[in-house]
Amino acid sequence: MPLLLLFILIPVFEMWLLIKVGSHIGALPTIGLVLLTAMIGLALLRQQGFATLLRANQKMEAGQLPAQEIVDGLFLAVGGALLLTPGFFTDAIGFICLIPGLRRLLLGRLIQNWISKPHQGFHFRASGFRTGPGFDPRGETFDHDPQRPQSPSQSQQRRPDVLEGDFKRED
């Protein structure tokens, strides 16, 4: 229900804001500002998108997971969509998603809120994505039976930053 409310209230707020700005500077300058922010946003999206893609390729070539770049790409997509939406409020949020320093600040806030609350299923940490019932977003594992004591060899082998699995290369 809150998401539906946002889809109703944000456009109403945007119309009110456009009318207020238009009454102060005129209709044509207001339309010009909306078009200007869209063009600047598209240029910024293109530049940031290529930079993020380049960083992701470099990390993949180095054998690392480009988790940060994936999240950046998601923010860039949301920011680009918001900048194409006519209005000053959505443009402000879109620019926050596109400007690297502001995007990192917003992402840091979201991560803090996400980590502070235990969730089911996918969990995001600053080091990447983790899944499954054996992961606690605070970094503790709990997939063992708490009634059954663990042997020292099991507790030494369990590391929350290691994903275990089998790998088979077929050329």
**What's the rounded Cα separation, in Å, for the pair 95 and 79?**
6
pLDDT above 70: residue 159: no
> What are the beta bridge partners of residue 12?
none
What integer pLDDT is reported at residue 71 of this predicted model?
Answer: 87
What integer pLDDT is reported at residue 117 of this predicted model?
Answer: 61
Furthest C-alpha separation in the chain? 75
Q: Is the pLDDT higher at 22 or at 138?
A: 22
pLDDT above 90: residue 85: no
What integer pLDDT is reported at residue 31 of this predicted model?
Answer: 92
Q: Please give the model's pTM, rounded to 2 decimal places.
A: 0.60
**What's the rounded Cα separation, in Å, for the pair 98 and 75?**
7
Q: What is the mean pLDDT of the chain?
A: 77
Give the dihedral sign, CA 45/48/50/56.
negative
pLDDT above 50: residue 143: no
Q: How many CA atoms lie within 13 A of 159 on its CB side?
A: 6
pLDDT, tens digit (0-9, with 9 covering 90-100), for 57-70:
999 998 888 888 88
Give the dihedral sign, CA 90/91/92/93.
positive
Structure confidence at residue 20 as a pLDDT band (50, 70, 90): very high
In DSSP notation, 95-162 reads: HHHHSHHHHHHHHHHHHHHHHTS--SS-EEETTEEE-STTB-TTS-B--S-TTSPPPHHHHHH--TT-
**What's the rounded Cα separation, in Å, for the pair 85 and 62?**
38
pLDDT above 60: residue 146: no
What integer pLDDT is reported at residue 1 of this predicted model?
Answer: 58
**What's the rounded Cα separation, in Å, for the pair 38 and 34?**
6
pLDDT, tens digit (0-9, with 9 covering 90-100), for 89-108:
999 999 888 888 888 888 78
What integer pLDDT is reported at residue 104 of this predicted model?
Answer: 83
